[in-house]
Amino acid sequence: MTQRLIYFVNDLDPNGPFDPINWPKWTSSSRELITFIDPFFQEITQDTFLAEAISYLK
């Protein structure tokens, strides 16, 4: 994760040339996140944590 932070600070992109998984850009239509399971395993998940609250506010 530290390396992703360094990439982001330098290029505004957390993805490096040798990352095993591409951290997608979050948009309101895709809502994809990267979830850090442990320092060596990440997976792409959907950002649905606040979906019910957001739909209530609309």
Q: Per-residue pLDDT tens for 33-53?
A: 888 888 788 899 998 888 888
10 within domain boundaries: no
pLDDT band (50, 70, 90) for residue 16: confident
Average pLDDT, stretch 9-17? 88
Compute the distance between CA of residue 55 and CA of residue 49 in angstroms, rounded to an integer.
Answer: 12
Contact 32, 40 (CB under 8 A): no
Which pair of structure tokens corresponds to residue 37?
Answer: 């399971």
38 within domain boundaries: yes
40 within domain boundaries: yes
Is a pLDDT exceeding 80 seen at residue 1?
no
Compute the distance between CA of residue 34 and CA of residue 12 in angstroms, rounded to an integer.
Answer: 16
Q: Which domain holds residue 40?
A: 26-58
Total domains in the chain come to 1
Smallest CA-to-CA distance from 24 within 2, 40, 42, 41 is with 42
47 within domain boundaries: yes
Compute the distance between CA of residue 15 and CA of residue 24 in angstroms, rounded to an integer.
Answer: 9
